[in-house]
Structure 1
Amino acid sequence: MNRKSNRGWTMAAALVVVGSTLFTGCASKNDPIAQADKADVAKGVPAPSLEQTKAIAEEGFIYGLPLVMNYAVMNEFAVDPKSSQFKAPFNQLHNEHRVATPADTAVITPNSDTPYSILWTDLRAEPLVITVPAVSKKRYYSVQLIDGNTYNYGYIGSRATASAPGSYLIAGPDWKGATPPGIDKVFNSTTPFSLTLIRTQLFNPADMPNVEKVQAGYKVQPLSAFLHQPAPVAAPKIDFVPATTAGIKDNFFEYLSAALEYVPPSADDKAIRSKLASIGVGPGRRFEFKDLSLEHKAVVLLGMKAGDEKVDKFLSSGMKNINGWNVGAFFGDQAFYKGDWLMRAGAAKGGLYGNDAVEAMYPYTRTDGKGQTLDTSKRNYTLTFPAGKLPPVNAFWSVTLYDGKSQLLINNPLNRYLINSPMLSAMKKNADGSLTLYIQKDSPGKAKESNWLPAPDDTVYLVMRLYWPKTAPPSILPAGEGSWQPPALVVSK
């Protein structure tokens, strides 16, 4: 949460006093909650009280956080060509010939291990076909399919489909049909707009030309083109409600109404969507926070604050604490979540677009092994893997450092944002064969700089990434119960 957001929550506390005493009933004629109330009353449904409105705002924040975050990223990546984060229009693949840096701000906790190929799909008119080349078994790659609910609805790649070439159909919720000839598998998105993230392993900076050759083999085309058939009528153009990741807290329910336009309802979310409609939030509605009465502003802001606190509590205590690291599995498909909106919100806030546990595990921490907040303005830390106990993976592992508040990468003198297993050959091991990483703002000395993860003069957030974790012991799986455990961060002397 940024400082601006904290001021917003403080404002809410003040507004609730004002709203509940001096200005009760003084609503704008355009107040979307009041307008929704009138519609419900006309149908014989009692209008929600202020307390009920607060509860709906709280539940709606938890339900809607991943949808809103995804909608804002979609706007920045695929809708607004003027955005500094813009990648490509819908249905055009964009290959990044670099890894993430502090300049990448649209997605929190970005992966800086692998160059991305990014595709936002518009599946309304017809499905798309993604074709992948043969990829060396030594180079990990994955194609992660994520829909507008932030459900991972399928995988292609080293783990899921081996390293062989193939063509795969990506279909929207309205498509029905038999598997077309030449298609290896069909994947179904729950939403008409979805995101495809392709990660291609980079061994070192000099390896980038090889990564680019692999990326050049990723192909995307409409099903009609793949089958050499006439294209269907194009889907109508949409004027999306503008959204930015920086504007989420200030425009949350405006963005949620816009996002829900492109998220078909399901049995899982029928109840919460009905509650949101009772306060004027939903498809086809233009919720405007500025139009709310003071008392409605107050209870909505307080509800959002309570929801945000529940998400933070989940992130700090909803996982298994192992040596100060939070270890668990909280990314998956619709069947995985089973309508657990708190888990889904925690997953999004912890690291939007994370993988299923079988594809990657993400131990994360804001504390050392004794539970004290990681603050590299005050302390230096070490992370030591005992001999023979590096993270057990089929692909590779990394430890990435982020700003403790924004969860974004941080500028540093080495332009080093992580330490990963491909760097091992250049790192120094201890006499007993163990490996120590130095996490601090000042250099640990030239002899140790190969093992140094430069930190800011501030609090930090650390995330491990274990790509394609091994399942045979020692393993981090099952999540939170595995035989391998991440070592504690220790304050160095």
Structure 2
Amino acid sequence: MNRKSNRGWTMAAALVVVGSTFFTGCASKNDPIAQADKADVAKGVPAPSLEQTKAIAEEGFIYGLPLVMNYAVMNEFAVDTKSSQFKAPFNQLHNEHRVATPADTAVITPNSDTPYSILWTDLRAEPLVITVPAVSKKRYYSVQLIDGNTYNYGYIGSRATASAPGSYLIAGPDWKGATPPGIDKVFNSTTPFALTLIRTQLFNPADMPNVEKVQAGYKVQPLSAFLHQPAPVAAPKIDFVPATTAGIKDNFFEYLSAALEYVPPSADDKAIRSKLASIGVGPGRRFEFKDLSLEHKAVVLLGMKAGDEKVDKFLSSGMKNINGWNVGAFFGDQAFYKGDWLMRAGAAKGGLYGNDAVEAMYPYTRTDGKGQTLDTSKRNYTLTFPAGKLPPVNAFWSVTLYDGKSQLLINNPLNRYLINSPMLSAMKKNADGSLTLYIQKDSPGKAKESNWLPAPDDTVYLVMRLYWPKTAPPSILPAGEGSWQPPALVVSK
């Protein structure tokens, strides 16, 4: 989802509008909106007008974007075994013995700091138990629990539970029961299908064998196996509606209907789900865009475009601007969002599966300190941290560069996608003790290459990550109000 998609929707909608002026009323008998209208009328409920349908499509896009993105990733990671992004079936832990590269395209703004251990969970039959080993206090790790609403419903790890070993229960929305013996804590997902992301700090390439040893200590098993009891009846097999991240724009509401099948309604989303049902979107429904009338195609496309523009506006202005960086907190649990679907959509589009602010902060920017778009086809940039003012963290920090349009990592001659604090010993500081990073497409020269973040011949998107940020001053917390501020990107000569 990027700015090109906005132009695509505009052109598509314009063509459909032109066509609809000549073929008004030529609706397919399978038009899902028309079918929903008939059902409403039969119940004595007024069917939405075209203008109302456009408004629902806009609101539905904002509400549904994180759900659709998550559903597509789930399909690519855990369902479609032929996908190039496939990791492992449900309830099987997959350890990546590498960091993310440009080949990783399922999740936008990927973290290339830490090797991941990835677990997609099916919690319908029974809960799962995640067991973690003792991890050195010098090595940061975190277990992030994310449900199908993209809420972060819990944490295990260096910050949340310290470095001692332990066993933790993750349960679906229908599980009820006392904490079983041997379980340190119970976490409840709002959805039956959920994601667990484990990040294990990598100090340098030679450290990978040590990371693998830690990863080997992560264990996952059903609760019945943990308790040495008979397993319950297996949950029925599901034929998921196929979905890909590349297909989100063209199949948005079809994917949303599929995703909602596995997202139980709540008081927070009752109103928007009712509106979506009035245009044929919801659990058990198939929303085929190709079956819509020309008028309905036009208003749906225009509604999606308007929703996407609102999300982009939130990303550019919804956070506090500090020296050109957007700084704020927009990841959290259900109580954090309180039904703020725009914030949740902005969080997903800015970087799906981000952490709570206490776990990690993510200043991001597309502009330099003067507000000009970052374009390394035209300009070189420097980012200088004054002496004694590196990002204040308990774990580590990084600056990662992405393609300005796709928000994916970029191939470059050094295979270097970020600069982080574990690299400091190999970097060169200035005479006054400050540290300068060089962000440009061409080498700044051998003497400065240790500090070079290679950029493309195009626009770029930069994300700073502060893992386990310090809370005592200087600190980036509270988000957007902290005493530490990221320095501005400056155009260099």
Q: Normalised by the size of structure 1, how large is the TM-score?
A: 0.99
**1:393-441 deviations in whole A, cap 9, x for unaligned?**
0000000000000000000000000000000000000000000000000
Alpha-carbon contact 2:78-2:89 (below 8 Å) kept: yes
Please name the residue that 1:115 is paired with. 115
1:3 is displaced (CA, Å) by 7.5
Alpha-carbon contact 1:12-1:302 (below 8 Å) kept: no
For the residues of structure 2 that align with 1:23 and 1:253, how far apart are their CA atoms? 24
Alpha-carbon contact 2:33-2:280 (below 8 Å) kept: yes
Alpha-carbon contact 1:115-1:199 (below 8 Å) kept: yes
1:7 is displaced (CA, Å) by 5.0
**1:336-372 deviations in whole A, cap 9, x for unaligned?**
0000000000000000000000000000000000000
1:442 is displaced (CA, Å) by 0.2
For the residues of structure 1 that align with 2:266 and 2:247, how far apart are their CA atoms? 27
1:23 is displaced (CA, Å) by 2.2
For the residues of structure 1 that align with 2:8 and 2:378, how far apart are their CA atoms? 29
Alpha-carbon contact 1:151-1:333 (below 8 Å) kept: yes
For the residues of structure 1 that align with 2:213 and 2:317, how far apart are their CA atoms? 43
**1:201-251 deviations in whole A, cap 9, x for unaligned?**
000000000000000000000000000000000000000000000000000
Please name the residue that 2:421 is paired with. 421
Alpha-carbon contact 1:15-1:295 (below 8 Å) kept: no
Alpha-carbon contact 2:13-2:297 (below 8 Å) kept: no
Alpha-carbon contact 2:6-2:305 (below 8 Å) kept: no
1:152 is displaced (CA, Å) by 0.1
| Ranges of 4+ aligned residues in structure 1 off by more than 6 Å | none
Q: Secondary structure at the match of 2:453?
A: strand
For the residues of structure 2 that align with 1:119 and 1:13, how far apart are their CA atoms? 39
Alpha-carbon contact 2:17-2:294 (below 8 Å) kept: no
For the residues of structure 2 that align with 1:82 and 1:11, how far apart are their CA atoms? 33
Please name the residue that 1:321 is paired with. 321
**1:426-478 deviations in whole A, cap 9, x for unaligned?**
00000000000000000000000000000000000000000000000000000
Alpha-carbon contact 2:419-2:453 (below 8 Å) kept: yes
For the residues of structure 2 that align with 1:3 and 1:243, how far apart are their CA atoms? 21
Q: Secondary structure at the match of 1:22?
A: helix
Alpha-carbon contact 1:12-1:299 (below 8 Å) kept: no
Please name the residue that 1:344 is paired with. 344
Q: State which drifts further: 454-463 or 10-19.
A: 10-19
1:14 is displaced (CA, Å) by 1.6
1:16 is displaced (CA, Å) by 5.2
Q: Secondary structure at the match of 2:391?
A: coil
**1:265-293 deviations in whole A, cap 9, x for unaligned?**
00000000000000000000000000000
- Unaligned runs of at least 5 residues, structure 2: none
Please name the residue that 2:392 is paired with. 392
**1:282-317 deviations in whole A, cap 9, x for unaligned?**
000000000000000000000000000000000000
**1:79-110 deviations in whole A, cap 9, x for unaligned?**
00000000000000000000000000000000
For the residues of structure 1 that align with 2:46 and 2:159, how far apart are their CA atoms? 53
For the residues of structure 1 that align with 2:336 and 2:5, how far apart are their CA atoms? 31
Q: Secondary structure at the match of 1:422?
A: helix
Alpha-carbon contact 1:16-1:299 (below 8 Å) kept: no
Q: Secondary structure at the match of 1:178?
A: coil
For the residues of structure 2 that align with 1:39 and 1:19, how far apart are their CA atoms? 27
1:183 is displaced (CA, Å) by 0.2
Alpha-carbon contact 1:401-1:461 (below 8 Å) kept: yes
1:22 is displaced (CA, Å) by 2.1
For the residues of structure 1 that align with 2:140 and 2:227, how far apart are their CA atoms? 30
Identity of aligned residues (%): 99
Residue 46 of structure 2 is aligned to residue 46 of structure 1: yes
Alpha-carbon contact 1:15-1:297 (below 8 Å) kept: no
Q: How many corresponding residue pairs?
A: 493
For the residues of structure 2 that align with 1:342 and 1:259, how far apart are their CA atoms? 18
1:26 is displaced (CA, Å) by 1.6
Please name the residue that 1:275 is paired with. 275
For the residues of structure 1 that align with 2:404 and 2:39, how far apart are their CA atoms? 44
1:18 is displaced (CA, Å) by 2.2
For the residues of structure 2 that align with 1:307 and 1:454, how far apart are their CA atoms? 34
1:25 is displaced (CA, Å) by 1.8
Alpha-carbon contact 1:355-1:361 (below 8 Å) kept: yes
For the residues of structure 1 that align with 2:157 and 2:462, how far apart are their CA atoms? 27
**1:6-34 deviations in whole A, cap 9, x for unaligned?**
45313344245325522222211000000
Alpha-carbon contact 1:19-1:298 (below 8 Å) kept: no
Q: CA 1:290/1:28 → structure 2, altered by over 3 Å: closer, same or farther?
A: same
Q: Secondary structure at the match of 2:399?
A: strand
For the residues of structure 2 that align with 1:244 and 1:165, how far apart are their CA atoms? 37
1:5 is displaced (CA, Å) by 2.5
Please name the residue that 2:447 is paired with. 447
For the residues of structure 1 that align with 2:264 and 2:88, how far apart are their CA atoms? 25
Alpha-carbon contact 1:15-1:294 (below 8 Å) kept: no
For the residues of structure 2 that align with 1:23 and 1:167, how far apart are their CA atoms? 62
Q: Secondary structure at the match of 2:23?
A: coil
- Unaligned runs of at least 5 residues, structure 1: none
Q: CA 1:321/1:478 → structure 2, altered by over 3 Å: closer, same or farther?
A: same
Alpha-carbon contact 1:12-1:297 (below 8 Å) kept: no
1:132 is displaced (CA, Å) by 0.2
1:2 is displaced (CA, Å) by 4.9
Alpha-carbon contact 1:400-1:463 (below 8 Å) kept: yes
For the residues of structure 2 that align with 1:36 and 1:355, how far apart are their CA atoms? 38
Q: State which drifts further: 320-329 or 3-12.
A: 3-12
1:380 is displaced (CA, Å) by 0.1
Alpha-carbon contact 2:10-2:305 (below 8 Å) kept: no
